[in-house]
Amino acid sequence: LGLSSELLAEPPGLGPAGDLQRIEFEAAGPTTLVGRNARRQLLVTGVYASGQRHDLTHGVAYIVSAPAVLGVDAVGLVTPLADGVSRVTATEPGGAHGDD
């Protein structure tokens, strides 16, 4: 076919992301869930040394400060359990964490 070596070369892409610098919650800050059927989907983003941002929502562990008040499943779906205040922390397997 006579393809040039330029066409066969690997495309540049984004390159390595580098080290994870921090974890951020999209729309971070206090949220009020009203009613037993209320839900909130958490979205967690990892910010890397290269400036790249990657979705970590399904790759972090969620910790709730008051588990009697709030539940968070493995994919970040928040469910109110009782009246009160609670804080959610997401922790990446390497130890980086962020608070909502």
Is the pLDDT score of 7 beyond 80?
A: no
pTM of the predicted protein model: 0.77
Count Cα atoms within 13 angstroms, Cβ side, for 74: 1
Strand, helix or coil at 95?
A: coil
Beta-carbon contacts of 32 under 8 Å, excluding residues fewer than 6 positions away, are none
Name the CA radius of gyration of the chain, rounded.
Answer: 19
Over the stretch 29-86, which tens digit does the pLDDT of each residue have?
Answer: 788 899 889 999 999 999 999 999 999 999 999 999 999 999 999 999 999 999 999 9
